Amino acid sequence: MDIISKQPVISSRSPTKQIGIFQLTVTVSQVGTGIRITNFKFIVNQDNVGDPFDPVPANWPSLKPGASHSAVVATGDSRHPTVFLPAGKYLVSVLAPGYKLGGNWINLKRDSTLTVELQPHPLPLAKIRVHVFEDIHPVNGEDDFPLEHGLPGFRIVLADATGEVTVDYFGNPLGTVYKRDAGGNLIIGPDGKPIPVPNTGGIIRTDENGDAVIENLPPGKYGVQAIPPDGSDWIQTTTIEGTHVIDAWIEEGNDGYSPREGFKAPLVWFGFVRPKEFAPGAGTGTITGRVRTIIEFTPPVRPLTLGGPVDRPWIALTDIGRTDEQVYTGRGNPDGTFTITNVPAGLYQMAIWDEPLDHIISFRTVQIADGETIDMGDIGIPRWFGWISGMVFRDENGNGVRDTDAVGNYIEEGIPNVPVGTRFKDGSGQYATVTELDGRYSFNEVFELERFAVAELGFDRFGRTAATATPDYGITPPRPTTTHPRALTLAVLTWAAKTNRIDWGMREYPLPGPDGLGGTPDDELQGGISGIVYYATMCNELNPRYAVAEDYEPGIPNVTVNLYRLNDDGSTTNSPGR
């Protein structure tokens, strides 16, 4: 299959040198030794991520809209290591037997030779170190060394892109210990695998210092979660992006320590606190307030405004006037309100967050005197995520709008069990759900990518009539609502704490065709054939014939797909759908 690129692929065996075309020769060697590698193949992609040193800010990676894909512009191998390309920036990726996939960048301005160094197999395995601590000096979602002590008995769960990870690289349960010789090297058994120590491995739990080590892992991105002991009331305070799962990126040979702290600290750490009340009579002060979501960027009104209440927020007080230690942690009401009684006179730092960690932990300073009641009013805290929500409804009259009666009641019913989702621009899946019994759907944790995603509607049972979209739904002043006839996908940009509402209209086939009239020859009798051509980056099925596209596998653009009609005599002819 040929992948058609917007930039032409120029053969490595071009017979003549063309004006503006330069020669790129790829050589490959082993990292550290410089030994030449003589059996390899490579592809060349456009380097279209941007340039942080470009004098035009719009070309900086932080500001330039991300491309949906990077076109393959040339291929080669050790027999044909030279390709011919226009001037430009490229990424060369090299694959060689016995070596890790590697690559190098080049800004091609003249005939050039590019050397790519590869790491030889076997790659050293990696570790993830986890530390769980009591977050009380102060309550702030951070591990304040050395004031806060570790918590034992927390179960550590690991996951990757395909689900929970339960075994190590050798296929044995996580935590398995292996026999080693006097030099610390693994002892290999007759099956070519290291020999496990009996009765080791299974469930990973933190030790008396709150530490846990997961060894013998291949490099990759993992999600780590610390689960409190059964029956306990621990509350998690730490997150990096609004979930109870902490992401860990490890490369081969990683020792499990973080490279960012400036001293040896575990790669992943979790803070927890317990509910704590002031004893009756401990003080005579009272603190009240209401926690609401901060909504950012609402021009032309103001940069910040307050949205709805935070459901049952957690409120903690640290006595920063005396011990710098947690003295109170309690939970608010569903409407975001809270009341703290029996507060002794003093100076406190108030920490505010929510149970699912959808909001960013925030802080206020409170100074209270004996017998004083302090009403803090509305307290705004920012949210990590936005929302995409709406309705899939039966559009009886086909106008694309969910119609109401004279008093404003909807007269077009919702449709249950319709697939609704979003994709990244490269075609890989982002979020997916199905509508509820009344036709409603909602994505409640849409991460603020600061770039467009693609909202899409399933249409295997019904045909689509239109999509009606309202950005920043529910914000004053109201944003305009736009109806997109026959839309099956919409570009959507979701900001934290904001809601993009998309209502999808559908109805049974047949649908009116291009002439807009029903019962004519151009009616759409069914939904046609649709699908995706994707990079099969991983085959999770043991039998490849049963392989299906994974959410994380990107699509391939500009591939020609032909449709053929099967004739009665067994022959085929081209169908107009191409």
Q: What is the DSSP string of 490-526?
A: EEE---TT-EEEEEEEEEPSPB--TTS-TTSTT-B-S
Note the pTM of the prediction, 2 decimals: 0.86
263 and 141 within one domain = yes
State whether 550 and 480 are in the same domain.
no
**Contact predicate 293/474, CB 8 Å:** no
Same structural domain, 142 and 106: no
- Structural domain ending residue among the three candidates 448, 473, 507: 507
pLDDT band at residue 13 under the 50/70/90 scheme: low
**Cβ atoms 229, 238 nearer than 8 A:** no
**For the chain, what is the mean pLDDT?**
91
Decide if 348 contacts 317 (C-beta within 8 A): yes
Collapsed DSSP state (helix, strand, coil) of residue 544: helix
pLDDT at 1 over 90: no
386: tokens are 């936005």
Last residue of a domain, one of 118, 134, 157: 118
Task: Out of 159-168, 276-285, 494-503, 536-545, pick the least confident.
Answer: 536-545
The total number of structural domains that make up the chain: 5
More confident residue, 212 or 515: 212
Domain annotation covers residue 367: yes
Split at pLDDT 50, 70, 90, the class of 300 is low
**Domain end residue (candidates: 363, 381, 399):** 381
Q: Does 279 have pLDDT greater than 70?
A: yes
Q: Is residue 159 part of a domain?
A: yes
DSSP state of 147: T
- Strands (E) in 59-187, as ranges, are 72-77, 82-86, 88-95, 102-108, 112-118, 126-134, 155-160, 163-165
Nearest to 501 by CA among 416, 371, 364, 387: 387
Q: Is 17 a residue whose pLDDT tops 90?
A: no
Measured CA distances, 551 to 170, 174, 534, 555 (Å): 26, 26, 10, 10
Instruction: Tell me the sheet residues that pair with 484.
Output: 467
Query: Residue 184: which domain range?
Result: 123-274
Q: Are 457 and 488 in contact (CB under 8 A)?
A: yes
Residue 149 has pLDDT above 60, yes or no: yes
Find the CATH number of the domain harbouring 419. 2.60.40.10
Convert the pLDDT of each residue in 307-322 to its tens digit: 899 999 999 999 999 9
Sheet of 326-331: strand order equals 326-331, 314-319, 346-353, 362-368
Question: Do 186 and 220 have their domain in common?
Answer: yes
Q: What is the pLDDT of residues 555-571, one digit of tens each?
A: 988 888 988 888 889 88
137 and 261 in a single domain? The answer is yes
209 and 78: one domain?
no
DSSP code of residue 66: P
Higher pLDDT residue, 459 or 267? 267
Amino acid at 141: G
| Domain identity same for 458 and 492 | yes
Residue 12 lies in a domain: no
**Are both 436 and 574 inside the same structural domain?**
no
Calpha distance 140→349 (Å, rounded): 9
Residues 496 and 392 in one domain: yes
Residue 77 — pLDDT band, cuts 50, 70, 90? very high
Q: DSSP letter string over 177-213?
A: -B-B-TTSPBPB-TTSSBPBPTT--S-EE--TTSEEE
Amino acid at 367: Q
